[in-house]
A and B are shown apart, each in its own frame.
Chain A
């Protein structure tokens, strides 16, 4: 299976940034025609390493040998010309252009500067056929799904004749079905003799798709191992540097009274119903996990509950009080914690300091301000305490929130939202993009809150997450709860059938289960 001739060799790559060694004598070989995974926690140096390989940064020390010859790319353009292309985690696509235009941009098939659209569409569709990547070359990028957009990125790289294709966290933006398709594409690329470097921190995926795995920790190579000879537990330990608990500490749930009740909720977006007669209940002391493929109303449900989206029908009740269409401020005053799905846009104000973010929304409380004047001593001590309690790693509470890593930003949001012991917690994609350590932390905090008697509504596209910490599980499809399960009745296959709409509307085990 694995070809042993190395196509790409990294030898002693070192890169220093002020105050940190991002890559420390990184050395490993990537065999021709293999799928080589590079795994590590956020901040382990994976992205920096790939930026060095593709010519975005020069290495401080060390050299890269590509096809037996040392290379030093000075721009991504040179790297791709030589045959190394990268698919970024955040796509670099022009939304207003067609698929074909995006693919040919910068390397247009043209005569005297004039492009023949038919030729470019034909070339792109030939490329699609050759690698089994299904996408319509004439469609506009803004009209196609995220999975298809990723295929366009892969096509861009293939169009330029890349032999080594680097994918940076390619599954972070995909739904489970799209991940399956991506893996098929990667296998197809491998079948055509391409070499794939797969950057990830999701161990299950890596173990499924990779031939060889290199683990990075704090900028250093911990080891390069064949995927067949390593377990998930061992990999996690290599990544984190200590054994990782995949089973969180959780006792049996002790559900109390109903805290959140959503009855027949309906909301429209233009002429389309994004929430369609949606009903669910969350009790004190339980975690209700909402599973579903993204775009089926999860975002809208969270917004409707939080007063960010007008509701056209139905009711939202919090502790027996009707809060339908109340303002966000009025909802939040009812001991509600909200972890938004997009922490950059809604969770934090990134350019503002840590302490400003911590008091955001509660800045008017007498603890923090008097007569329009902020009480700094009280704010700072409270911030310090919150930061300590949630183990937020930062240089200073006076630094802007954007200087924190993703995991620490999320912990900062928890520190703000969990103040004052919330009775209801709405957690939307709470661990998206977080590394193992931070994910473990956030999930444990949600469990702890539930044990303190909070009602938790967990909205997550990560089925494994829903299954691992929920007490009850609902599946949302087309803005409607199609089925509910007690935690022991649910299995991924059944959930998957409801998530994709293969099976619909059923209700069972709806009441209390643990």
Chain B
């Protein structure tokens, strides 16, 4: 069961969750819940595929990042600036993105639910390691975005713990008033956090449509944005934790794709990764620790 092919498949399925979850860390650590990740991924999926169709995969990926960030900007303006409830704003983003994408798809390609086939980025093969038979499926002909996703983990940990930006971002999510009295620009930090999360959700969408399926299909995100949010929480708001949670989900999904049995209807097997997510969240989340001020809108000059 635990073959290298299986592991490679788990990683391919985990990558969109990991990228989005790492993005969610930036948003949540700045104190903003981003439940609109799903919508931002959808925007990234479609925009990526559509632009890649006309201008190639590189442009497609950049456009997907921009599309995710654009929807994140709406979320930031609403929830940071106008202090709209973050859940309400995020849900609205999800609905909005779905509608905008369907409309755009229809008007550009005359098809509501798919785009034509697109080219993906050139696959990467690591020369030395690919010769090792057992490692071969893991290191040959792999999407470069998979490497990028795993580079994001240590990079994000470094940003959070070692940089001025990371310290200020976290301070804003923990105690914005304290940060403000020390001259930290609370709104700027929150905007940065939300925009980065949107950009990465867009990237994750591009991975799905350009790299994974090589076309956009409506509903292809399958709730991965929500799963990513759960993975981020399960991972205790830490990049490494989010990675493990993402891999767990990817593994469960890879497994569910390989289980073929007459005894259990196929639909039930497809549910396994999602049920696993719920069980894991219910069982472990109590031990995790959220940023103290997450979800609380901050008003400048309040209290003090």
B178 in the interface (beta carbon within 8 A): yes
Question: Is B171 a contact partner of A113 (Cβ separation < 8 A)?
Answer: no
| Residue among A76, A92, A110 facing the most chain B CB atoms (10 A cut-off) | A92
Partner of B163, one of A56, A93, A94, A114: A114
Chain A interface bracket (under 10, 10 to 19, 20 to 34, 35 or more): 20 to 34
A94 with B164, Cβ < 8 A, contacts A77-B183, A105-B171, A105-B184 known: no
List chain A residues, Cβ under 8 A from B279.
none
- CB nearest neighbor in B for A109: B164
Question: Is B162 a contact partner of A94 (Cβ separation < 8 A)?
Answer: no
List chain A residues, Cβ under 8 A from B289.
96
Q: In chain B, residues 171-200, which have Cβ atoms closer than 8 Å to a Cβ of chain A?
A: 171, 174-175, 177-179, 181-184
Question: Is A106 a contact partner of B175 (Cβ separation < 8 A)?
Answer: no
Sampled A-B contacts (5; CB under 8 Å): A96-B291, A97-B170, A102-B178, A105-B167, A110-B163
A115 with B181, Cβ < 8 A, contacts A56-B304, A96-B292 known: no
Task: With both chains docked as a complex, state the minimum distance between the C-beta of B296 and any C-beta of chain A, in angstroms.
Answer: 14
Q: In chain A, residues 85-109, which have Cβ atoms closer than 8 Å to a Cβ of chain B?
A: 88, 92-97, 101-102, 104-108
Q: How many A-B residue pairs have CB under 8 A?
A: 69
Task: With both chains docked as a complex, state the minimum distance between the C-beta of B302 and any C-beta of chain A, in angstroms.
Answer: 12
A15 in the interface (beta carbon within 8 A): no
Question: Is A93 a contact partner of B175 (Cβ separation < 8 A)?
Answer: yes
List chain A residues, Cβ under 8 A from B183.
75, 77, 80, 106-107
Number of interface residues of B (CB under 8 A): 22
Question: Is B170 a contact partner of A92 (Cβ separation < 8 A)?
Answer: no
A92 with B174, Cβ < 8 A, contacts A105-B184, A115-B164 known: no
Cα-based distance from A77 to B292 in the complex (angstroms): 24
Question: Is B170 a contact partner of A113 (Cβ separation < 8 A)?
Answer: no
- CB nearest neighbor in A for B301: A56
List chain A residues, Cβ under 8 A from B174.
94-97
- CB nearest neighbor in B for A91: B178
List chain B residues, Cβ under 8 A from A101.
167
Cα-based distance from A76 to B179 in the complex (angstroms): 11
List chain A residues, Cβ under 8 A from B103.
none
Q: In chain A, residues 101-145, which have Cβ atoms closer than 8 Å to a Cβ of chain B?
A: 101-102, 104-108, 110, 113-115, 117
A25 in the interface (beta carbon within 8 A): no
A416 in the interface (beta carbon within 8 A): no
Q: Mark A234-270, 1 if CB is under 8 A from B, else 0.
A: 0000000000000000000000000000000000000
Question: Is B164 a contact partner of A156 (Cβ separation < 8 A)?
Answer: no
Question: Is A114 a contact partner of B178 (Cβ separation < 8 A)?
Answer: no
| Residue among A88, A105, A108, A117 facing the most chain B CB atoms (10 A cut-off) | A105
A51 in the interface (beta carbon within 8 A): yes
List chain A residues, Cβ under 8 A from B175.
92-95
- Other than the given A97-B170, A105-B179, A107-B183, 7 more pairs (CB < 8 A) read A92-B175, A94-B179, A97-B174, A102-B178, A106-B182, A110-B164, A113-B163
List chain A residues, Cβ under 8 A from B165.
113
Task: With both chains docked as a complex, state the minimum distance between the C-beta of A474 and any C-beta of chain B, in angstroms.
Answer: 37
Q: Mark A210-226, 1 if CB is under 8 A from B, else 0.
A: 00000000000000000
Task: With both chains docked as a complex, state the minimum distance between the C-beta of A166 and any C-beta of chain B, in angstroms.
Answer: 13
List chain B residues, Cβ under 8 A from A106.
168, 179, 182-184
Cα-based distance from A51 to B181 in the complex (angstroms): 12
Q: In chain B, residues 231-265, which have Cβ atoms closer than 8 Å to a Cβ of chain A?
A: none
List chain B residues, Cβ under 8 A from A75.
183
| Residue among B163, B164, B184, B304 facing the most chain A CB atoms (10 A cut-off) | B164
List chain B residues, Cβ under 8 A from A92.
175, 177-178, 181-182
Q: In chain B, residues 269-304, which have Cβ atoms closer than 8 Å to a Cβ of chain A?
A: 289, 291-292, 301, 304
| Residue among A88, A96, A156 facing the most chain B CB atoms (10 A cut-off) | A96
Q: Mark A69-83, 1 if CB is under 8 A from B, else 0.
A: 000000111001000
Cα-based distance from A115 to B292 in the complex (angstroms): 23
Cα-based distance from A160 to B12 in the complex (angstroms): 49
List chain B residues, Cβ under 8 A from A104.
167
- CB nearest neighbor in A for B165: A113
Cα-based distance from A96 to B183 in the complex (angstroms): 19
Question: Is A94 a contact partner of B171 (Cβ separation < 8 A)?
Answer: yes
List chain A residues, Cβ under 8 A from B167.
101, 104-105, 108, 115
Question: Is B168 a contact partner of A105 (Cβ separation < 8 A)?
Answer: yes
Q: Mark A160-183, 1 if CB is under 8 A from B, else 0.
A: 000000000000000000000000
List chain B residues, Cβ under 8 A from A113.
163-165
Question: Is A108 a contact partner of B164 (Cβ separation < 8 A)?
Answer: yes
Q: Mark A49-61, 1 if CB is under 8 A from B, else 0.
A: 0010000100000
Cα-based distance from A107 to B182 in the complex (angstroms): 8
Cα-based distance from A77 to B175 in the complex (angstroms): 17
Partner of B162, one of A77, A88, A102, A117: A117
Cα-based distance from A97 to B291 in the complex (angstroms): 11
Question: Is A114 a contact partner of B162 (Cβ separation < 8 A)?
Answer: yes
A51 with B304, Cβ < 8 A, contacts A110-B164, A114-B163 known: yes
- CB nearest neighbor in A for B304: A56
List chain B residues, Cβ under 8 A from A76.
181
List chain B residues, Cβ under 8 A from A110.
163-164
Question: Is A105 a contact partner of B182 (Cβ separation < 8 A)?
Answer: yes
List chain B residues, Cβ under 8 A from A51.
304
Question: Is B182 a contact partner of A156 (Cβ separation < 8 A)?
Answer: yes
List chain A residues, Cβ under 8 A from B177.
92
Cα-based distance from A106 to B188 in the complex (angstroms): 13
Cα-based distance from A158 to B209 in the complex (angstroms): 54
Cα-based distance from A110 to B161 in the complex (angstroms): 13
- CB nearest neighbor in B for A93: B178
- CB nearest neighbor in B for A76: B181
List chain A residues, Cβ under 8 A from B301.
56
Cα-based distance from A11 to B167 in the complex (angstroms): 40
Task: With both chains docked as a complex, state the minimum distance between the C-beta of B293 and any C-beta of chain A, in angstroms.
Answer: 9
Cα-based distance from A277 to B162 in the complex (angstroms): 49
Cα-based distance from A223 to B292 in the complex (angstroms): 44
Cα-based distance from A102 to B178 in the complex (angstroms): 9
A94 with B178, Cβ < 8 A, contacts A105-B171, A113-B163, A113-B165 known: yes
List chain A residues, Cβ under 8 A from B291.
96
Cα-based distance from A97 to B168 in the complex (angstroms): 11
List chain B residues, Cβ under 8 A from A88.
181, 304
Leading 10 A-B pairs by shortest Cβ distance: A106-B182, A92-B178, A77-B183, A94-B174, A106-B183, A94-B175, A108-B164, A113-B164, A110-B164, A76-B181
